Amino acid sequence: MTAFDLNDPDFIANPYPVYAWLRDVAPVHYGTTNDLWLVSRHDDVLAVLRDARRFSSDLGNADDNPFNPALRSPRALSRLLDRLPPARTLLTSDPPDHTQLRRKVAKAFTPRRIAALEPRIRQIAEQLVDDLDGDLVRDLASPLPTIVIAEMMGIPAARRDDFKRWSDELVDGLLTGGSRLKMARSAIAISWFFARTVRSRRRSPGDDLISLLTTRDQDGDALTLGELVNFCILLLVAGNETTTNLISNAMLALFDRPDLWRRLGEDPGLASAAVEETLRYDGPAQGLLRITTTEVVIGDVTIPQGARVLPLLGAANRDPRHWADPDAFRLDRPSNDHIAFGSGIHYCIGTALARLEARVTLETLARRHPHLAPAGPPTRIQSPVLRGLRTLPVTVRPATVP
């Protein structure tokens, strides 16, 4: 096996055997089909992520995204997208821009601010769990993070459906092969929406996330309108689908191991361990993208300057050089230093929120529906980098014995 396509449905269905081959045989592998250098061993992935100088996140034009053939868009649409606010965003900038931006937004995601959300997140989870009606993704894992971030941003409930649709279409177009036209329309609609919201919060601030982001920091610095709009959009793109997938992947792993699901029902306190193990075992972000700013040698392989490198978080998190028993899903790992949230300067800003939402959701499910069971095969999101489910049919009541 020397060439394989990252978009191959078989790879997407189960990438883990390929990861094992890569780690053992070709830990730094150039894949011609996707024009990407795949890095798969734990220590190498960590080294790439912690070296932002040689492995840049400044990816330039989103059209250049290699993961998704659907992204090679018609020129007219690319021009349309160019009219959106300039692309200085946290995720795709390098220092010093990144350092400045990160300092300005970090205040919104402190552990204390996030922990204070727990009672409200629990209420939302309980409501959704009570209304669960056949599909765990549609009814629970997908709406929960969107409702939470919309409330954090002070978006009126009446706009919630628009907000959810825009957010879904953006993520679909960017990462999972959805319609490019819908994505462009949603990008424009949501940019306008956030621009208007930012202007009105500047005039009359509330105690929501957007108002907080519009305030100046100690140095008197404030985000520009374009930076604010981009950051709000980034929160949707980086936070919603990933958290949905974390909840779905966790439930899939637990359904595959009914003994563990039963234990969670007896002791919902295990939810936190289940969340961490899901992040390691089957994390929502499987690979990140970097561009080399210079020639780099990893092991005995030389990567040229300007190459696109894919550090495979999903492969690193199952590297037997780092983990005992890496292919087992266990709730009793003595420590779990997975890198599902990345590492280095771009380390996920939403970890506390994602963990809280996922833990509260699993606890609520285990308490209210200990007999929840799968009701048919799930369907998977067709992306090599975003791992999760489109649907997860479930049955709420225990099967009655005839």
Nearer to ligand HEM, 223 or 238 (CB): 238
Restricting to residues 64-93, name those near ligand HEM by CB under 6 A.
90-91
Q: How far is the CB of 13 from ligand HEM (least distance, A)?
A: 20
What is the closest distance, in whole angstroms, from the C-beta atom of residue 181 to ligand HEM in the complex?
26
Number of residues assigned to the chain: 402
Which positions from 293 through 322 interact with ligand HEM, judged by CB under 6 A?
A: none
User: Is residue 244 involved in binding ligand HEM (CB under 6 A)?
Assistant: no
Mark the segment that binds ligand HEM (CB under 6 A) among 79-87, 186-194, 283-291, 364-372: 283-291
CA distances from 396 to 259, 295, 362 (A): 17, 55, 14
Q: Which is nearer to ligand HEM, 90 or 312 (CB)?
A: 90
- Select the residue interacting with ligand HEM from 284, 287, 314, 378 (CB under 6 A): 284
Question: Dihedrals φ, ψ of 198, to 5°?
Answer: -60, -45
- Decide: is 361 part of the binding site for ligand HEM (CB under 6 A): no
Q: How far is CA 232 from CA 31, 131, 238, 346, 385, in A?
A: 34, 29, 10, 17, 22
Q: How far is the CB of 89 from ligand HEM (least distance, A)?
A: 8
Q: Quick one: which of 234, 253, 307, 375 contacts ligand HEM (CB under 6 A)? A: 234
The answer to whether 17 and 45 have CB atoms below 8 angstroms apart is no
Which positions from 148 through 207 interact with ligand HEM, judged by CB under 6 A? 149
Q: Which residues pair with 285 in a beta bridge?
A: 386
- If one asks whether residue 286 binds ligand HEM (CB under 6 A), the answer comes out as no
Give the nearest residue (CB) to ligand HEM. 350
What is the distance between the alpha carbons of residues 148 and 350, in angstroms, rounded to a whole number?
A: 12
Told to check if 57 binds ligand HEM by CB under 6 A, we report: yes
CA distance 8 to 15: 10
Q: Give one DSSP letter per residue of 186-207, joined into a string.
A: HHHHHHHHHHHHHHHHHHS--S
Q: What minimum distance in Å lies between the beta carbon of 101 and ligand HEM?
A: 8
Contact present, 152 and 208 (Cβ < 8 Å) = yes
We find the least distance from the C-beta atom of residue 356 to ligand HEM, in angstroms, to be: 9
Query: Which backbone phi and psi does 202 adopt, to 5 degrees?
Result: -65, -40
- 11 near 281, Cβ under 8 Å? no
**How far apart are CB 56 and ligand HEM at their closest, in Å?**
10
Instruction: Pick the binder of ligand HEM from 176, 243, 361, 364 (CB under 6 A).
Output: 243
Least CB distance from residue 275 to ligand HEM, whole Å? Answer: 9
Rounded CA separation 202/296 (Å) = 45
- The angle at the Cα of 177, spanning 172 to 178, to the nearest 5 degrees, equals 50
Report the site for ligand HEM in 98-157 (rule: CB under 6 A).
102, 149
Q: Is 238 in the site for ligand HEM (CB under 6 A)?
A: yes
Positions 333 through 352 that interact with ligand HEM (CB under 6 A)? 340-342, 346, 348-350
Nearest to 327 by CA among 253, 273, 389: 253
**C-beta closer to ligand HEM: residue 268 or 350:** 350
Q: Tell me the window of 31-39, 167-175, 238-246, 373-381 that interacts with ligand HEM (CB under 6 A).
A: 238-246
Give dist(CA 53, CA 98) in Å, integer.
12
Is the CB of residue 122 less than 8 Å from the CB of residue 376? no
Interacting residue ranges for ligand HEM, rule: CB under 6 A: 57, 90-91, 102, 149, 234-235, 238-239, 242-243, 246, 283-285, 288, 340-342, 346, 348-350, 353-354
